[in-house]
Amino acid sequence: MATKPEPPGCRSAAIATALLVGSALVFMTIGLALVNDTGCVAACETLGITMLYAGLPISAVFGVLFGDLVLAWPLDITFWVVVAFLLARLSDNRRRSVLGVTLLTVVAALAYGLVLSRFVEIAI
């Protein structure tokens, strides 16, 4: 007896959205805590800015361009939701695990945050 393929639904999008938005909130919280700590210097500061920029990618671009800590969190949340829906669709179309694709995106966000944090540290 052949099994029917699972019809497209919201499960993949919900998993990707929960993971991406949850990771962004954790990164933002850790990043803000480290950046606002007066005793945080050198590697600690790099880690803080990396985490902050990984969680808030749109705010990161504004921060690098304008040279200040900008929190455009509505744009950042919208960004992560749109990315999550695109990842869900991509993983469903290519028959890949939505969890794996989403975790790769989280790792890419950390790399993005590290690169932008280096730009900020070079400018300072």
* Closest of 43, 48, 80 to residue 63, by C-alpha: 48
Residue type, 91: S
What lies within 8 Å, CB to CB, of 73 at 6+ separation is 28, 56, 59
Average pLDDT over residues 94-101: 90
Mean pLDDT for the chain?
89
Q: Is the dihedral of CA 99, 102, 107, 110 positive or negative?
A: negative
Q: Kindly report the CA angle at 52 between 77 and 61, in degrees rounded to 5?
A: 70
Give the predicted TM-score (pTM) of the model.
Answer: 0.87
pLDDT digits (tens, 9 = 90+) for 7-60: 556 889 999 999 999 999 999 999 999 999 989 888 999 999 999 999 999 999
pLDDT of residue 9: 65
pLDDT of residue 110: 97
67 or 84, which is more confident?
Answer: 84
pLDDT of residue 2: 56
What lies within 8 Å, CB to CB, of 2 at 6+ separation is none
Do residues 71 and 61 make contact, with C-beta atoms less than 8 angstroms apart? Answer: no
